[in-house]
Structure formats: structure tokens, C-alpha cells
A and B are shown apart, each in its own frame.
Chain A
């Protein structure tokens, strides 16, 4: 409990005695584990989501080949004959690249018309690649609706949708004008990672040098963070057998390890005694080891149940927090005192700690009315969020897309009128539901109807009309674009739509058996499919964290405090995500995990210090000041470094690093604000010693309770 002060004298003597051996042991152990369990890093989250995808397994069971659907956007100042020829050549060259199965562009589109001279007429298919600039512009102006997904009205932007089973290399191609290539690369850009690792070290060194006036704090920090991260991932691989780690997952361990290290180091830094240098280490251990132990217990119990879920993503995320928290704790108890025992500080003045006094005096006289309004609003928002997640998840979690495509595969036995009618119904149902959010739906039904309309010999689509349409498809080499021996292809053009709503509609459409084949769509389905599981897991973890916090402090009020402090950053972030329609990603979950890790640590450290000081008879004001001094300052330092480094990551060229940078910087900022402005007020609100203080007769002098500063 918070009022106990563990006796660690004998333990400390042993650590100091074997300090060299301890340091060498950890370095050797880490080297051995890392050499035995080397993770394979990926910068794309595709594999993590698709591993758990039921839709992908369904597609694979039918032996449909999946591919990546990538988009090349070319911008021209003015389309002339030279550029047109270059674009035509580019289309041809793209189709010849190894792994490319299909390219949809202006030059793959076929325009069907009737050419007529009196009694003589024929259904003719005009391919855009056969036309010159003038003819092309004329034709597209006439029927722009059919081409708007591949070219804009000004003939300045040209879209190429490339289906490929292998990563594309565009450097060898001659591409006119300027271009933008939208692709998901799973390759890790180590140079970029190295740059940000060095930036992190530099920022930490500068900040620690300014605040602590030494380099030993930086060296200790880097040693602690490196060992925690390497040991955590080696242990995760050892336990789970999952070798594939997303490149941003180490940010979880780095963030947690940095803040945990600071709780210990800072306490050592401000506890220097002139008489005996070991006293500072003693103080560091007996003041920080109990709250730090409870933070590990809290994360282990809070996130432990999630490890049992059948989802690699949730398993990896929760294990990263649990194991890094436990590993960091063990390292703080062993290698950190061993390392610090070599040093003694002379200038330990921390003038910036005055910030804590400022916050304490301002928060002491908080308005209960405002606190009540704030909490009611927050919990109302939380319930509203819960309602939307569980009842309207497809509109709550958005995946907005503009000018994209989806391809579906539909197995068939016979091409007959029944099949064509069911396909037509499918298209019209879809277009009725999504109206102008959708573009053309290209399927066997649409081409058969178009050919039939162009065929002056037939009118209503009957069996003969169908046979003739199929004949014309063969005549103009169109059949392979729409079907093979047992599968139909349906291409849906998306204008401006929440793709999740469409996917949800498609998955629940009864009239037709359909399969998704492009990785991006499968990824969207997998993410959407797991949102409920993820939301439930997060809510469950937060509830357990709340209850465990209450149990640790033997206080019902602390259940509420633990839950509120952990929920608040995620709730505010969720509002932001929903308002800005940001799609769910692994990076977002990692940032949320970091937030939960840091918020739960802060709750325990703040509350532990607060209740301990109150137990020993300190006034609320003095308690707040001390709490900010011992627990608040390390949180401010650690969070500020993390916010700066994560914010700089958002300028990275690597998409994944950009996302983790942006989300984590926002979430850690929200978490820091919650720790500094909400947590202390809530602690004052649930303060069980307030009554004692008010009843002066029960007040016990601090010295009588054996209080130590």
C-alpha cells in the first residue's frame, strides 16, 4: 500500500556489489535473445489486418487471386497529339509489366455505338486508343459520364488503375507531364528510421542536458530504452511465435520506457545527499518501486485478457505494453541502480519544478460545478460514441475515398437471362442506395444491355438478344474483361463515398454470392470487421484498469478516477477522428495503446504520491505541490520529448511514420493535459482524508506518523 516504505537496504548493497556483473549480464542477455529471436519489420499494416481477415480466407478458398489496386494520376498542362501518344504507350507498357493483370484507363474503355448507312448497320466498339486527340475529345465530351473516372473534363488529369500482384517499378517508364503514384509499400525505409532514432537521441540529450545538467541521464535513458525495447520484442516473439512486427510498434515500448525511466531517474536526481551517495538510490527505489510495480500490475491485468483474443494485432499491442512495462520495471530495479551507483551529482537544483507549485495553487480551488458539467459532458459523449460504434459502426468509422475502384468476383455456372437479371438488379439496388456517390458499375449485365441497346436488330433483352450480345463481345474481344470460364468480374467506380458503408452493404447483400479480390478492399473489410472487437477490447481494458486502480487504492472513487483519466484522451481523440473522418489504421491503435500505457502509469504515480502524502498528514495544497514535483515533472519532461519527436515524425515521407507521429503527438498531448489538469482535480474530489483534515480532532501531526519528505 501507499503508506508502506519498503526496506531495500540489503537489496541495494547486493546490487552495488554486483553492479558490473548486472550491467554485463543484461547486455549479454539482450544480445543473445535478439540474435535468437530476430523480428521481421514491416512498414505496411496490411499483413497484420489481413491475417485475421475472414473475407480474405473466403476469397482464397475459392482460389481467386488477390492483387493490389494502385492508382497512377498524370497531370498534363494541355493534351496534344504527342502527349496522347505517350499516354497510349504508357498504357501498353503498364500492361506488359510483370505482375500486372489489368490496367483500367482511358485507353481500356470501349465505346459502343451503332454505325449506320440506310439498311446497312452494325454494332461497333470504338477503343479510345484508336482515336486522335480531336476525335477523343469530341467523343468524351459527348459521353463524359462514362469516362469521368479516368479523365477529367478539362483533359488535364488522367487516371490509371493498375491491378498488380507484385510491387510496381515506374522508374523505367516514360510518363508525360507530372504524376502522382498512390501505392502501399511494405518495405521498411531504414534510413528514415535511423534519422528519427538519431533525432530522438539528440532531443533527449539536449533536453536532459538543459534540465539535469549532465549526460549520464541521457546515457542511462538510452540504455534503459534500448534494453527494454529489444527485450520486449524478443520476449513477444518467444511467447507468441509471431515474428512480424510493425515498424511503429517499438514506439509503444520507447514511450513507456522513457516515462518509467524518468520517474526513477528524476527521483534519484532530486534526492542527492552530501553524506552518502547511495542514499539517493535508496530513496529512488523505496519511493518509486511500489507505484511502478502497481503500474505493471495494472497494465498486466487491464490488457492481459486481450492477449487471449484471436487477433494478432490486439495480441501484439497488448503484449507490447505489458511486457515493456514489466521489463522496464525490472530494469529500473536492477540495471538502473547498478549504473547510477557509479555517479554522484553536485548541481541538482531543478528551478522548473516551480511549475508544479503554480499548477497546484490554481487547481486547489477548482469549481465543483464546472467539474460536474465537464464529467457529465464527457460521459454523455462516451455513451453516444458507444451507441454509434455498436449500432451504426459503418457510418461512424469512415473510410472516405474519391475516384477509386473495387472489383468483385462472382462465380457462375451458366450465362443466361436469370444471371443477367440478377446482376442488373444488384447494380440497380446498389445505385439506388448510393446514388451519385457511385460511378459506372461495369459488369456483364451492363455490357450486355449496352450492346443490346446498340443492336438495332433486338429490343427487349431476351434469349436471342443475349446470345447476340455475347457474340458481339467475342467479336470485339470484350469477353475476357467481364468473365472467364466460371467467374464474372464486376468493376465498381467510386466517386466520393464512405467506402465502409458500401462494403457493409455489399457484405450483407443477399441476392448474389460475391468475393472481394483487391487488397485495399479486403483491408478495409478486415479493419471494419474488427472495429467492434477493437472497441470492445479497449472498453474492457479501460474498465479493468478502472477497477484495478480502485482495488490498488482500496477506494471506489479511484475506480472512477482510473477510468476517467484513461478514457479522456481516447474520447477526445475519437471525437477528432470522427469529425475529420479519419480512417481507422494500425498506427491509430498503436497511438491509443501508448496513450493507455502512459495514462495508467500517470494515474498510479500521481495517486500514489497524493494518497501517501495525505496519509502522512500533508495539507491538500502541500500534497499537490509535492505530487507535481515528484510525479508531474517527470511526466511533463517525458511527454514533451515524445510530443516533439512524434510531431517531427509527422513530416516524414514514410506514410506509416507520418500517421504514428501525428496520432501519437495528439494523444500524448491530450494525455499530458489530462494528467496535469484533470487528474489532480479528480484526486482532490475523491480525497478520503479531507474529512479527517476538516475534523481537527483527528488530525495527526506529520512527524507523529513518521512522515519522510
Chain B
């Protein structure tokens, strides 16, 4: 009897887990969390509306996303992007992330890597490591489960 009740409990928990959605997150809180790492973002575009974007420089769809933005001047005029580099473990992009954060011109380096497939083999400095950790902390709080991941400021 106890075995069946336990199985039922697991079923309920698992069903509940499947229906759990991002909607549960309050975006107001997300924006507050994002404010903590705004200084670590790489800014792109000059529009009024700010969009926070979590990218992996080696992720194919992050690249496609950035390429579509770059090809459309209107997207740069209308929006401003705060880009946070947040690696997908299986893509092993730490060296590329380090190359961007260690660069004097992070945006140009990011565009080079993502749009021209430039290869870098850098190591993260202490400061950059702290940036990556701060971004990862906020990303986990925001449940960033995919790349690119967007949060549009109202």
C-alpha cells in the first residue's frame, strides 16, 4: 500500500514538474537580478528598449540570432542588447568567452567569433572569471535553460 502511495506521489510530482513554466518567474524580480550584472554586459545597438540576451559564442542558434540582428539595421536602431556570455557545457566555449572578456574591444571580438567563426585560445583572468561566475549565478536564478535566452525590459 505504502509503495503505491509513494508511486502516486512521484507521479503527481513529476506531472507538476512538467507543467511548471517560466511564467512562474516574476519578470520584475528577473530585472532586479539582471541589474546586478548589467555592468558585465556587452552592449550592442543603440535603440531605446533594452533586451537582455544570454548567449554562448559557439551555440549555432545564438550565432544565427546575432547574425539576424546584425543584418537588420532597424533591430539595432530600435533595441539595445545587453549581452551576457553564458556557456553551454557541451560546447566547451570557455576559451572563446575568455577571448571576449579579455579583449580591449569585447563587442568586436564577440562579433568576430560568432559571425566570422574566429578561433581564440585565451584563458580567463581572475576578473573575467568573477564576471562569468556572476552571470552564471543570475542565469541560474533566472532559470536560463536555453541559448539564446531573452528578457525584454518593459
Q: A residues bordering B, Cβ < 8 Å?
A: 115-122, 124, 456-460, 462-465, 467-468, 471, 474-477
Known: A118-B88, A471-B152, A477-B72. A458 touches B22 (CB 8 A): yes
Closest Cβ neighbor of A469 among chain B residues: B152
Could you list 12 examples of A-B contacts with CB < 8 Å?
A: A117-B60, A118-B90, A120-B61, A120-B62, A121-B146, A122-B61, A124-B64, A457-B150, A463-B27, A464-B152, A471-B51, A471-B152
Q: Is the CB of B23 within 8 A of A460?
A: yes
* B14 CB within 8 Å of chain A: no
Chain A residues whose C-beta falls within 8 Å of the C-beta of B64 in the assembled complex? 115, 122, 124
Q: Is the CB of B88 within 8 A of A119?
A: yes
Give the contacting residue for B23; candidates A120, A458, A476; CB below 8 A. A458
Per-residue contact bits, chain B 64-79, to A (CB 8 Å; 1 contact, 0 not): 1100110010110011
Task: Name the residue among A117, A118, A457 with the largest chain B CB count within 10 angstroms.
Answer: A457
Chain A contact residues, majority secondary structure? mixed
Chain A residues whose C-beta falls within 8 Å of the C-beta of B60 in the assembled complex? 117, 120
Q: Is the CB of B27 within 8 A of A464?
A: yes
Q: Is the CB of B78 within 8 A of A474?
A: yes
A124 CA / B51 CA spacing, docked (Å): 18
Chain B residues whose C-beta falls within 8 Å of the C-beta of A119 in the assembled complex? 59, 88, 90, 145-147
Known: A118-B90, A122-B61. A475 touches B23 (CB 8 A): no
Q: Is the CB of A460 within 8 A of B21?
A: yes
Q: B residues bordering A, Cβ < 8 Å?
A: 21-23, 27, 51, 56, 59-62, 64-65, 68-69, 72, 74-75, 78-79, 88, 90-91, 145-152, 154
Q: Is the CB of A120 within 8 A of B147?
A: yes
Chain A residues whose C-beta falls within 8 Å of the C-beta of B68 in the assembled complex? 475-476
A581 CA / B57 CA spacing, docked (Å): 63
A467 CA / B78 CA spacing, docked (Å): 13
Q: Is the CB of B151 within 8 A of A456?
A: no
A467 CA / B152 CA spacing, docked (Å): 6
Closest Cβ neighbor of B20 among chain A residues: A459
- 9 tightest CB-CB pairs across the interface, nearest first? A459-B21, A122-B61, A467-B152, A120-B59, A460-B23, A464-B27, A120-B61, A119-B88, A459-B23
Chain A residues whose C-beta falls within 8 Å of the C-beta of B62 in the assembled complex? 120
Closest Cβ neighbor of B153 among chain A residues: A467
Chain B residues whose C-beta falls within 8 Å of the C-beta of A477 in the assembled complex? 72
Chain B residues whose C-beta falls within 8 Å of the C-beta of A468 in the assembled complex? 150, 152
Q: Is the CB of A121 within 8 A of B152?
A: no
- Known pairs A119-B147, A467-B152, A468-B150; list 10 more (Cβ under 8 Å): A117-B61, A119-B88, A120-B56, A120-B147, A458-B21, A463-B27, A468-B152, A471-B150, A474-B78, A474-B79
A468 CA / B53 CA spacing, docked (Å): 12
Q: Is the CB of B61 within 8 A of A459?
A: no
Known: A457-B150, A460-B21. A120 touches B88 (CB 8 A): yes
Chain A residues whose C-beta falls within 8 Å of the C-beta of B78 in the assembled complex? 474
Q: Is the CB of A457 within 8 A of B22?
A: yes
Chain B residues whose C-beta falls within 8 Å of the C-beta of A456 in the assembled complex? 146
CB distance from A124 to the nearest CB of B (A): 8
Chain A residues whose C-beta falls within 8 Å of the C-beta of B88 in the assembled complex? 118-120
Q: Is the CB of B149 within 8 A of A457?
A: yes
CB distance from A208 to the nearest CB of B (A): 74
Chain A residues whose C-beta falls within 8 Å of the C-beta of B149 in the assembled complex? 457
